[in-house]
Amino acid sequence: MKAIRRLHVRTVLPQTLAPLHDLALNLRWSWHPPTRDIFASIDPELWQASGHDPVAVLSSLRTADMDRLAADESFVTRVHEAAADLERYLTKPRWYQQEGAGRTAEHGDRELRSIAYFSPEFGITSVLPQYSGGLGILAGDHLKAASDQGIPIVGVGLFYTSGYFAQRFNAEGWQQESYPVLDPDDLPLSLLREEDGTPVVVRLAMPQGGHLDARVWRAQVGRVPLLLLDSDVETNDAARREVTNRLYGGGGDQRLEQEMLLGIGGVRALRAYSRITGAPEPTVYHTNEGHAGFQGVERISELVSRAGLTFDEALRAVRAGTVFTTHTPVPAGIDRFDVDAIRAHFAEDGCQLDGVPLDRLLALGAEDYEGGDRSRFNMAVMGMRLGQRVNGVSRLHGAVSREMFSGLWPGFDLDEVPIGSVTNGVHAGTWVDRKLYDLAKAHLGPETAARSVFTRIHEVPIDAFWRTKRELRAQLIDDARARLKTSLRDRGVTEAELGWTEDVLDPDALTIGFARRGATYKRLTLMLRDPERLKKLLNDPERPVQLLIAGKSHPADDTGKALIQQMVRFTDDPEVRGKILYLPNYDIAMAQQLYPGCDVWLNNPLRPFEACGTSGMKAALNGALNLSILDGWWDEWYDGQNGWAIPTADGVEDPDRRDDLESAALYELLERTVVPTFYDRDEDGLPQRWLEMVSHTLSTLGPKVLADRMVRDYTEQYYWPAAHAAWSAAADDFAGARDLAAYVEQVHASWPQVRIDHVDADGLSDAPQIGDEISVHAFVGLGDLDPHQVRVQMAYGRANAEDTLTDLEYVDLEPTQSYEEGRHRFDGRMRLARTGALGWTVRVLPRHGQLAGAAELGLVTLP
Ligand SMILES: *Cc1c(COP(=O)(O)O)cnc(C)c1O
């Protein structure tokens, strides 16, 4: 029978058990084992079957169960202790509340009380499947670490009725996608309601007088609220109800409407949230990748209609408080729309925003630079135009992004392109296996903070560590066998043929993991380049290697799916069966078993396309060694002792040849170094050299890869400076924003007249020596600009044979004299502090107190 209506009956808990409700709804349980234990103890079987889901356990309680639990004194005590612990966690001052955390004297005593964090996906726990991969996991870890550090963030995203998708394989090894529908009532979410109890509805106008409505779910991630917009409401027409049905699903209009909802709707949801709860309005808006870019446009519209600013003034105010993080070094990975679709959606009969003329909106995302495509609206470019502060996610990715987007700042050297970097991190509480924590705490004391668990790891006896690592391998093997069996059943294998799966994998064998999205640049099949060589490693009777592989491919990516199929079929080969497994449906739950159970984490992307990568960090925190191409974070933190670098054939143009070279290097490393080191045992059976490397990894890499470090970096290097800029722009009825906007207009109009007429220098002998001082005079024409409105600089650095300058230093020249027709003299002195072939030049830049850097306006005049 099928139901014609659904209804959701909420469990009403007896008074003594009431705290269970809050414990289940606050997702802190996802990184707090004692709270999870409480739910597990209510019904261990259901806990297992539900995939460790507190809400599922609570919903299943019958009155008799509740009576039994309420009468169990020790259970009730544990519940109340956990509730008190949560309360302490939510209220106790943390890093951010300390004196000096991120603040400097120039910020005065103003408090930065709210930062909005927008992301199209959030990976917090596998029971809230609202993520596809690294970007979402990163966003989840960002919120959790912000909560742990007391940083006042509020997350904004979408609620996808079917999440991403569930992955299975058919008999041929081809990926099958299914889209189980989630019922938000069964999830750790609550509906954002007005004070009178009616659900908050956010509405966006759509073309031809249509509309897109959304309700707002609220998840609580420790201290951090997360607002998720959901278009599945009755006031939408059937098609619009489906706008948020899938993450990265559909094409064209659906994708655009999702992003409009995330950006524009997200800001409206934040406003409703503040109005209802009294939470402070955010000062800083951080967008994780370009998808939420429209948030800036909505905020411009607010300022134009409510504060009476012009578009340009509002743009300056909005930019000041916006941080944009770019995540892809692959041009094809950038989110772009047809200009016509933008035109249609933001037309007068659509979502035209007050004070945002269509041409100004289009200009924000226009690829109006060399090599750009005028028919496209580019969300990353809009992110940069709407954010005064921009960063990539590893040092190398910062450099690659400066190059990739340099067209937006013509005339500037790459190192001046205003894109910085904050290297990603991972949330230890979520990712470090409990057995390892317990081991560390048994030796270091129960109160040891996460950071010192790593720095003091040497105090844990190495044999105890090695025994634990074996348990973790065994735990992974149990999990992998169960998944393998399920997968084979899905592929049509009969029960009778499944016997062999019972004893696959060996808890003492060198275990290598490889799991990530099936994007082509990640080169899943590189290890299959020479299948015989891989088989030999897997089948070595003395020193066996076993490989666990997982990852989903985007449903529309047939190339990625073909690579996965090739790999799945390889694992079917009777020669290697059971020694290399492809586990379906990679998700957080699998990842939490996989990293701890592995000895080696393999990553072989095509350099430099891995922006950062975080799975290797999670593996490292669980005592695995990385074996990786020097890309993303590994390029920055590989130190020769914490794992292995697979040499890259960077300059080789032919991709086949490059794969040949890099795969050969990979096999060689495995055969000659990795496998021998793992199996080189002392008389106690311990791999001493291996364990030294692991211990070194945990103590030196451990503290760096923590998301705690990442959110502190963001707070210090981005949030506080952005808050400061936002306050300066807004002070005195936006005097700062108005002044900067007027300046920008003037400087753009006058710049064509700016020129350097003549430069000379005194004090330069024929044989200059270190310590000599030279004085420089520049005669420049500034048109209508006042000499104090520009910065004239001497730039000095190493000169190569073509006179290209590198390693530059700058000295400001001061205006000393003005002549007729807007001509001025600027003077300065410079001490020669370096030897060798040097060169210098002079340049003119805009100057204004509210600009964040020399290149911000993309204007520069050279001789
Ligand atoms: C960490 C993680 C990722 C991201 O891994 P990368 O190394 O960045 O590709 C993807 N999916 C899951 C489930 C993860 O836990």
CATH label of the domain that carries residue 444: 3.40.50.2000
Enter the pTM of the model.
0.96
Q: Which residue, of 59, 91, 123, is where some domain finishes?
A: 91
User: If you write DSSP's letter for every residue of 288-349 in order, what string do you get?
Assistant: ESGGGTHHHHHHHHHHHHHH---HHHHHHHHHHTEEEE-----GGGS-EEEHHHHHHHTSTT
Cα diameter, the chain: 98
Alpha-carbon 333 to chain mean position: 15
Of 327, 394, 615, 710, which is best to mutate to test ligand 1, by the most ligand atoms within 8 angstroms of its C-beta? 615
> Are residues 496 and 630 located together in one domain of the fold?
yes
- The per-residue pLDDT for 268 is 98
Residue nearest to atom 8 of ligand 1 (CA): 613
Residue 136 CA to ligand 1 centre (angstroms): 9
- The per-residue pLDDT for 850 is 94
Residue nearest to atom 9 of ligand 1 (CA): 516
> Are residues 86 and 147 located together in one domain of the fold?
no
Of 127, 128, 137, which is best to mutate to test ligand 1, by the most ligand atoms within 8 angstroms of its C-beta? 137
Neighbour tally for 379: CB within 10 Å: 23
- The per-residue pLDDT for 647 is 94
- The per-residue pLDDT for 832 is 84
Residue 261 CA to ligand 1 centre (angstroms): 26
Place of tokens 């001490």: 831
Q: Which residue, of 421, 449, 474, is where some domain finishes?
A: 421
In-domain check, residue 391? yes
Q: How many domains does the chain have?
A: 4
Residue pLDDT, tens place only, 483-514: 999 999 999 999 999 999 999 999 999 999 99
- The per-residue pLDDT for 474 is 98
- The amino acid occupying position 670 is L
User: Which residues of the chain are under the pLDDT cut of 70?
Assistant: 4-10, 105-108
> Are residues 28 and 133 located together in one domain of the fold?
no
Nearest ligand 1 atom to alpha carbon 592: 15
Residue 617 CA to ligand 1 centre (angstroms): 10
- The per-residue pLDDT for 763 is 76
Residue 548 CA to ligand 1 centre (angstroms): 15
How far is it, in rounded angstroms, from Cα 641 to Cα 645? 10
Q: Is 619 helix (H, G, I), strand (E, B) or coil?
A: helix
- The amino acid occupying position 13 is L
Residue 516 CA to ligand 1 centre (angstroms): 6
> Are residues 365 and 453 located together in one domain of the fold?
no
Name the phi and psi angles at 165, rounded to 5: -165, 165
Neighbour tally for 575: CB within 10 Å: 11
Closest CA to 793 of 807, 778, 781, 782: 778
| Alpha-carbon Rg for the chain in angstroms | 29
In-domain check, residue 746? no
Residue 479 CA to ligand 1 centre (angstroms): 18
In-domain check, residue 821? yes
In-domain check, residue 1? no
Residue 615 CA to ligand 1 centre (angstroms): 5
In-domain check, residue 5? no
In-domain check, residue 4? no
Residue nearest to atom 1 of ligand 1 (CA): 615
Residue 121 CA to ligand 1 centre (angstroms): 13
How far is it, in rounded angstroms, from Cα 551 to Cα 611? 18
Beta bridge partners of 545: 510
Q: Tell me which residue range forms the domain holding 43.
A: 15-91
Residue nearest to atom 11 of ligand 1 (CA): 133
CB 512 within 8 A of CB 589: no
Neighbour tally for 173: CB within 10 Å: 19
Residue 514 CA to ligand 1 centre (angstroms): 10
> Are residues 811 and 681 located together in one domain of the fold?
no
CB 301 within 8 A of CB 232: no
- The per-residue pLDDT for 109 is 75
Q: Which residue, of 371, 396, 421, is where some domain finishes?
A: 421
Closest CA to 444 of 434, 454, 431, 429: 454
> Are residues 383 and 523 located together in one domain of the fold?
no
Residue 137 CA to ligand 1 centre (angstroms): 7
Residue 106 CA to ligand 1 centre (angstroms): 39
Nearest ligand 1 atom to alpha carbon 615: 7
CB 314 within 8 A of CB 165: no
- The per-residue pLDDT for 8 is 64
Nearest ligand 1 atom to alpha carbon 132: 11
> Are residues 821 and 758 located together in one domain of the fold?
yes
In-domain check, residue 336? yes
How far is it, in rounded angstroms, from Cα 568 to Cα 150? 44
Nearest ligand 1 atom to alpha carbon 522: 9
Residue nearest to atom 3 of ligand 1 (CA): 134
Nearest ligand 1 atom to alpha carbon 618: 1
> Are residues 567 and 605 located together in one domain of the fold?
yes
Residue 788: exposure state from Cβ atoms within 10 A (0-12, 13-18, ≥19): exposed
> Are residues 378 and 449 located together in one domain of the fold?
no
> Which residues does 394 contact at the CB level (< 8 Å), separation at least 6?
421, 423, 424, 611, 612, 632, 633, 635, 636
Residue 497 CA to ligand 1 centre (angstroms): 33
Residue 248 CA to ligand 1 centre (angstroms): 17
Q: Is 762 helix (H, G, I), strand (E, B) or coil?
A: strand
Give the pocket of ligand 1 (CB within 6 Å): 133-134, 137, 516, 586-588, 591, 613-615, 618
> Are residues 858 and 810 located together in one domain of the fold?
yes
> Are residues 378 and 479 located together in one domain of the fold?
no
Residue 134 CA to ligand 1 centre (angstroms): 4
In-domain check, residue 99? no
For the chain, report the end-to-end CA distance as a whole number of angstroms.
82
H helix or E strand, kind and range, residue 270: helix 266-277
> Are residues 532 and 674 located together in one domain of the fold?
yes
Residue 616 CA to ligand 1 centre (angstroms): 9
Of 31, 130, 614, which is best to mutate to test ligand 1, by the most ligand atoms within 8 angstroms of its C-beta? 614
Nearest ligand 1 atom to alpha carbon 426: 1
Question: What is the CATH classification number for the domain harbouring 848?
Answer: 2.60.40
Nearest ligand 1 atom to alpha carbon 603: 7
